[in-house]
Chains A and B, each alone.
Chain A
Amino acid sequence: EDQVTQSPEALRLQEGESSSLNCSYTVSGLRGLFWYRQDPGKGPEFLFTLYSAGEEKEKERLKATLTKKESFLHITAPKPEDSATYLCAVQLSGGSYIPTFGRGTSLIVHP
């Protein structure tokens, strides 16, 4: 069965303390991998789409990378406003649109 696993479930950082979030997937044929940010009680906000192993994308303090079996979301020198839940989703090749989401990583950045 196709599966998306995110780790850690929760992460507490001090402001300025860089770290990485992991999204591993076991799917037969990846079309795309997506990262979203979700604030409490709100809808997910699109961050990145990655399509092929070796691809990297950056936005402010965030950088997403992709290998054949996992993706990392690197957070450099985080600020308290980066606190949120970060969701990963995968989309399979073969025409089906249906994305499969992981449970997310809850990030808290302390000042």
Chain B
Amino acid sequence: DAGVTQSPTHLIKTRGQQVTLRCSPKSGHDTVSWYQQALGQGPQFIFQYYEEEERQRGNFPDRFSGHQFPNYSSELNVNALLLGDSALYLCASSLLDSDTQYFGPGTRLTVL
């Protein structure tokens, strides 16, 4: 049973560029959440998707957007990248309203 997978593993971009990160949830899960984890910090909630709709959103600007596909996989898009967007981006999957989330290995984004 494959767990949560994310791609790519690492990514280097320059300021002002746009980036798309991808996530496939654990088999059987229908809900995907995205988190940003800066070095030395805990993960910060970006948003959650269920049934292809954004269900909850954390305190992130509109430059951060997402999408969920019919097969429950998800994308995180970040526009107009800033140096401060450099972080580990984590995807977590779960069943709707379940407290147990399973995290992927993350995508390390570096903005130069």
Q: In this complex, which of A41, A43, A96, A97 has the most chain B Cβ atoms within 10 angstroms of its Cβ?
A: A43
In chain A, what residue has the closest Cβ to B91?
A43
Chain B positions 30 through 45: 1 when the CB is less than 8 Å from some CB of chain A, otherwise 0: 0001000000111111
Pairwise interchain contact A102-B106, C-beta atoms closer than 8 A: no
A109–B70 Cα distance when bound, in Å, is 44
A96–B47 Cα distance when bound, in Å, is 12
Pairwise interchain contact B106-A96, C-beta atoms closer than 8 A: no
Report the minimal beta-carbon distance from A111 to chain B, rounded to whole angstroms.
26
A36–B100 Cα distance when bound, in Å, is 11
Pairwise interchain contact B100-A98, C-beta atoms closer than 8 A: no
Q: Which residues of A sit under 8 angstroms from B4, Cβ to Cβ?
A: 43
A45–B45 Cα distance when bound, in Å, is 16
- Asked if A22 is an interface residue, CB under 8 A from chain B, the answer is no
- Asked if A103 is an interface residue, CB under 8 A from chain B, the answer is yes
Pairwise interchain contact A98-B102, C-beta atoms closer than 8 A: no
A68–B99 Cα distance when bound, in Å, is 19
- Please pick, from B40, B48, B90, the residue contacting A44 in the complex, using a CB distance under 8 A: B90
- Asked if A104 is an interface residue, CB under 8 A from chain B, the answer is yes
Q: Which residues of B sit under 8 angstroms from A91, Cβ to Cβ?
A: 99
Pairwise interchain contact A103-B40, C-beta atoms closer than 8 A: yes
- Asked if A89 is an interface residue, CB under 8 A from chain B, the answer is yes
Pairwise interchain contact A103-B103, C-beta atoms closer than 8 A: no
Q: Which residues of A sit under 8 angstroms from B88, Cβ to Cβ?
A: 41
Pairwise interchain contact B105-A42, C-beta atoms closer than 8 A: yes
27 contacts between A and B (CB under 8 A): A34-B99, A36-B103, A41-B88, A41-B105, A41-B106, A41-B108, A42-B106, A43-B4, A43-B103, A43-B105, A45-B103, A46-B100, A46-B102, A46-B103, A49-B99, A87-B42, A91-B99, A96-B56, A97-B56, A98-B45, A98-B56, A98-B58, A101-B43, A102-B42, A103-B40, A103-B42, A104-B42
Q: Which 3 pairs between the two chains have the least Cβ-Cβ distance?
A: A101-B42, A43-B103, A97-B56
